[in-house]
Structure 1
Amino acid sequence: MVNRKELNPEASPHAAFGAKLRVVREGLGLTQDQLGNEMGYTCGHISSVETGRKVPTLRFSRQADRALGTANTEDAFERQWREIRQGSLLEGAPEYMGCEARSAEIRLYEVGVVPGLLQTPEYALTLAEGAVLRGSITEEQAAERVQMIADRQDALKRRTPPMVFVVLDESCLRRPVGEPAIMNAQLEHLMEFADRPNTMVQVAPFDLGARRPFDLPIYILTMPDRQLMSYAESAQRGHLDRESTSVLPLLTAYHQLQALALSQAASVAMISQLRKGTP
């Protein structure tokens, strides 16, 4: 075959995914063009995934399983995609995100950066690219992070979406991320997010000082059966807690934080002022 690129499945998890895709496709006697037509992708897209130039998405994996007959099997591409994604996450994060997508209520507090559920694609990409420049993650892992954020946001767009309560430390708004246009678009998105019927956005101002109950980001979920769970991350690990004796005090502290934070109207006014460049 002309211009056939030899694949090295040992090079990376995505290279292994692409090599497997080629093996299964050719085993069924399909060309890249034929598979692309079945999946709703171009021939070039199929080629880019097979050679590791493009990172496969959840949708791509599911479409591949449907077209190649591997759905719900040990060799499912969706299963391999999830293994790749989870391999780059902190302990506890995959389970948390699975619960988050089914939750009835989400409460979160973030410091320093806008949380993933509220990030614009450009803001998320800028953060991921910064991590690549620092050498803390690879370019592939950066692409995974951005796609993961998009998947989390899409998972919440269900017929009955969860209530989402957000408290942002003021540092989330004042820390510039990327070019001014990226930060302005992110601030505008926060204002739009606050305007949704199932959301509440508040800012915890700097002058809370020692009254602020949390020093690190915290996520608290209420599941449809009213079970509570919390998730928190340090630099090296994540911790998911399902014990009500541990989570209830966090929920109480979160309610106290909401009472101390600016109202949503005052919070949106602060965001609007920062977007316009006024102090």
Structure 2
Amino acid sequence: MTHINVLDPGASPLDYYGFELRRLREAANLTQRQLGEILNYTGSLVGQIETARKVPTVEFSERADAALGTGGLLSRLIGLVLRSQLPAWFREVAELEARATQINTFHTHLVHGLLQTPGYAAAVLGALDRTRLDDRTAARMARQRIFDKSEPPQFWAVISEAALFQETGGSEVMRQQLAHLLAFEGHRHINIQVLPFAAGAHAGSQGSFDAFHFASDPAIVYTEGYSSGHPTANPDTVRDCALRYDHLQAAALSIKDSAGLIRRVMEDRYGEQVA
């Protein structure tokens, strides 16, 4: 008799997802192989997801929902599953991102995670540790689903010009990443400004930070160290960072001029010719 791994659906979001996928598949009288063929995946992958040995993707969830007539159950669960794959110390930040009505970010040497392409994210996450890199990259990319909400947050990003020149993942990855940033030009909810080298000394010299604003709760400022995050709602810190952000936005290029600089860097440094 084939041994069937019995999951505890209360153990984790991943276990719950696997338990529900198996329940739905068996209710449809399908084997793992049959479901895999319908979804254009292998039966082995279906089995790995059902036993919580593999993290499902958004695409897998959408296909499975359609094939099994779940009413969108798995697509609703996937956000929780992917968020559970984030480092424990970062999960609170993902919750803040999901609840915020406005997010202001300043980054000195990297493109913010909510603006990263999969290739760029994988390069950042895999710099020192490539274990489960696909799953960790998928978890990071899933955070960007906040922009798909009916009422997404207003997102402002001030990025140091240095981040455009820090060749992360190679020229092709950087071309794709900078093209992705350019795609937001004129976006209703996502605004990108570049702080140029010419700005000299600036209000963000102490480092990167994020500020989360909510409809009714106090604002929270988040800073990050090595493998640790530091959110705070201290009013003095929030006011200080708000002032710093005002100065950073004033020193940064306009949204239009920022796009122009990103385009020039992409053409001159990474060899992409944009019409």
Instruction: Pick the TM interval, shorter chain.
Output: 0.7 to 0.9
Q: Aligned partner of 2:121: which letter? A: A
Q: SS where residue 210 of structure 1 aligns? A: coil
**Deviation of residue 95 (structure 1)?**
1.8
1:238 to 210, 225, 229: 229
In structure 1, list runs of 5 or more residues that go unmatched: none
Aligned to 1:260: 251
1:81 corresponds to 2:81? yes
Q: Percent identity?
A: 27
Segments of 5+ residues of structure 2 without an aligned counterpart are: 271-275
- Is residue 2:101 matched to residue 1:110? no
The letter of the residue matching 1:145 is R
Once residues 78 and 53 of structure 1 are traced to their aligned partners in structure 2, the CA distance between those partners, rounded to angstroms, is: 15
What is the TM-score normalised by the length of structure 1? Answer: 0.74
Q: AA paired with 1:123?
A: Y
1:46 aligns with 2:43: no
The alpha-carbon deviation at position 98 of structure 1 amounts to: 1.2
Question: Match of 1:139?
Answer: 131
Q: Which residue does 1:172 correspond to in 2? A: 163
Q: How many residues end up aligned between the 2 structures?
A: 258
CA RMSD of superposed structures (Å)? 4.0
SS at match of 1:276: helix
Given residue 178 of structure 1, which amino acid in structure 2 is its aligned partner?
G
Contact 1:220-1:229 at 8 Å conserved across structures: yes
- SS of the residue 1:240 aligns to: strand
Q: Deviations over 1:208-227 (max 9, x none)?
A: 33323343221101112263
* 1:208 and 2:208 aligned: no
Distance change in 2, residues 1:34/1:80 (3 Å) = farther
> Against the structure 1 CA distance between its residues 5 and 255, is the aligned structure 2 distance closer, same or farther, given a 3 Å change threshold?
farther
Partner of 2:273: none
Displacement, 1:80?
8.5
CA distance in 2 between partners of 1:183 and 1:244 (Å): 38
Match of 1:100 among 89, 97, 101: 97
Q: How far apart are the structure 1 equivalents of 2:80 and 2:191?
A: 36
Corresponding residue for residue 32 of structure 1: 32
TM-aligned CA deviation for residue 195 of structure 1: 2.4
In structure 2, the partner of 1:56 is 56
CA 1:84–1:201 in structure 2 vs 1: closer, same or farther (change >3 Å)? closer
